[in-house]
Amino acid sequence: MEVMIAFLRARLWLAIFCCLYAFNSTALGLAYANSNNLKQVRINTDSMRVSSLENDLKTKTILTSEKAHPEPLQIYISLDNQEMTVFRGLERIFSTNISSGKKGYDTPRGIFSVLEKRKRHQSNIYNASMPFMQRLTWSGIALHQSNKVPNYPASHGCIRLPRKSAKMLYNVTSYRDHVIIAPERISPNVIEHPALFQPHKEHLVNFDLRDSKSGYDIIDSTIRIYNDKPLRIYITRKRPSEIVQNVQIGLKQLLLYEGDIDGAFGKKTRDAIVAFQKLYGYKQTGKLDKSFRKRLSIKSERAMLRDGVILVRQNHKPIYKADIDIERPTEPLGSHFLITSKFNSSKTKWIGSTISTKIPRSVVRFNDIELNGKKRIVGNIQQALSRLKLSKDIKFEIERMLTAGSSLAISDNGIGTETGKGTDFIVQTH
pLDDT per position as a tens digit, 119-165: 987 776 766 788 999 999 999 999 999 999 998 999 999 999 999 99
- Which of the 8 DSSP states describes residue 376? S
Contact 247, 241 (CB under 8 A): no
Residue 9: CB atoms within 10 Å? 10
Q: Any idea what the CATH number is for the domain that residue 138 is in?
A: 2.40.440.10
- Average pLDDT, integer, range 345-365: 93
Among residues 418, 420, 407, the alpha carbon closest in space to that of 177 is found at: 407
User: What are the angstrom distances between the C-alpha of 193 and each of 95, 189, 352, 368?
Assistant: 30, 13, 12, 28
pLDDT score recorded for residue 313:
96
pLDDT score recorded for residue 345:
85
Q: What is the C-alpha separation between 315 and 136, in angstroms, rounded?
A: 15
pLDDT score recorded for residue 303:
65
pTM: 0.76
My answer on whether 271 and 215 are in the same domain is no
- Average pLDDT, integer, range 200-205: 55
Which of helix, strand or coil describes residue 247?
A: helix
Q: What is the C-alpha separation between 230 and 148, in angstroms, rounded?
A: 36
pLDDT score recorded for residue 38:
32
My answer on whether 332 and 283 are in the same domain is no
End position of a domain, from candidates 65, 85, 120: 65
Q: In the chain, pLDDT over 90 holds for what percent of residues?
A: 62
In total, the chain counts a number of residues equal to 430
My answer on whether 321 and 227 are in the same domain is yes
The total of structural domains in the chain comes to: 4
End position of a domain, from candidates 26, 45, 65: 65
My answer on whether 320 and 174 are in the same domain is no
My answer on whether 159 and 209 are in the same domain is no
User: What are the angstrom distances between the C-alpha of 18 and each of 12, 124, 199, 209?
Assistant: 10, 64, 41, 19
Which domain range does residue 176 map to?
Answer: 73-187
My answer on whether 290 and 274 are in the same domain is yes
pLDDT score recorded for residue 18:
54
End position of a domain, from candidates 65, 91, 117: 65
My answer on whether 212 and 318 are in the same domain is yes
Higher pLDDT, 416 or 237: 237
My answer on whether 275 and 201 are in the same domain is no
pLDDT score recorded for residue 121:
79
pLDDT score recorded for residue 213:
42
Contact 141, 126 (CB under 8 A): no
Q: How many Cα atoms are found within 13 Å in the side-chain-facing hemisphere of 389?
A: 8
pLDDT score recorded for residue 146:
94
- Average pLDDT, integer, range 385-413: 96
My answer on whether 291 and 358 are in the same domain is no
- pLDDT mean across residues, the chain: 82
My answer on whether 55 and 204 are in the same domain is no
My answer on whether 233 and 248 are in the same domain is no
Higher pLDDT, 351 or 20: 351
pLDDT score recorded for residue 181:
98
Residue 195: CB atoms within 10 Å? 14
The b/e string for 286-302 (b: 16+ C-beta within 10 A; e otherwise) is bebeeebbeebbebbeb
pLDDT score recorded for residue 242:
86
pLDDT score recorded for residue 416:
84
pLDDT score recorded for residue 200:
82
My answer on whether 88 and 44 are in the same domain is no
